[in-house]
Amino acid sequence: MKREEIMESVRSQMPEKRWTHTLGVMETAVRLAERYGADPVKADLAAILHDVCKYWRVDEQARIIRENGLPQDLLEYDKELWHAHAGAWVARTQYGVDDEEILDAIRYHTSGREKMTLLDKVVCLADYMEPGRDFPGVHNIRENAEHSLEKALLAGFDGTIRFLLDKRKRVYPLTLAARNGLIVELEAEEAQE
Ligand code: DGI
Ligand code: FE
Ligand code: FE
């Protein structure tokens, strides 16, 4: 499927507001990719598809996870996590995306994971800081993004983890692994300075 066709199809599956968010993630992901040396074409396609099934019924998202061997532990955690893993499956099976880097960036855009690739980081961070986002702390994330992908993403995950703690929700283990992984990377970087 051509890029424009994918865009129209994705757009038709979400409310206009979520499509505006998607456009913001695309623009931001491409800019971050150019700044930090990721592939902007891959960042663009991952961004277009990252929330493709965010507005599908949750029982449909759960069915995709159950029937296609996706991580079953997701079903024990917040439903907000499901659309990312289900979305990667949809990108592969319904949109013919076969690039594993792009599929991973979609798959881990919500939870993160221990060893995030450059493209994972770019898409996840773009999702946090696209121009339409307005939450306490987003300004700090945008400032950090000027000089460090890892610092900016760490600020993003810290905010999400705090939010979950305050709501007395469980944190998906991959999110903790993602945060730990970023700290290891930042410490290694600082030790070299
Ligand atoms: O789909 P979006 O709204 O654009 O953003 P997203 O895919 O990053 O979803 C974020 C939501 O997921 C956010 O409101 C917090 C929620 N969430 C619930 N449990 C977890 C979680 N996010 C992370 N990273 N880890 C969790 O365990
Ligand atoms: Fe999402
Ligand atoms: Fe999003």
Q: Which atom of ligand 1 is nearest to the CA of 54?
A: 1
Query: What mean pLDDT is predicted for residues 140-153?
Result: 98
Contact 141, 156 (CB under 8 A): yes
Query: What mean pLDDT is predicted for residues 71-81?
Result: 98
The whole model's pTM is what?
0.97
pLDDT at 10 over 90: yes
Q: Structural domain of residue 50, as residue ranges?
A: 3-192
Which amino acid residue places its CA nearest to atom 23 of ligand 1?
111
Q: Which of 76, 79, 160, 169 to mutate to test the pocket of ligand 1 (most atoms within 8 A of CB)?
A: 160
pLDDT at site 187: 97
Q: What is the rounded CA–CA span in Å between residue 176 and residue 161?
A: 8
What is the Cα Rg of the chain in Å?
16
Which amino acid residue places its CA nearest to atom 15 of ligand 1?
160
The total domain count for the chain is 1
pLDDT at 193 over 90: no
Q: What is the rounded CA–CA span in Å between residue 9 and residue 88?
A: 15
CATH, residue 45: 1.10.3210.10
pLDDT at site 1: 87
CB atoms within 10 A of CB 169: 13
Q: What tens digit of pLDDT does each residue of 30-52 get? A: 999 999 999 999 999 999 999 99
Contact 87, 108 (CB under 8 A): no
Q: Which residues, in sequence order, are CB contacts of 6 under 8 Å at separation 6+?
A: 45, 48, 49, 95
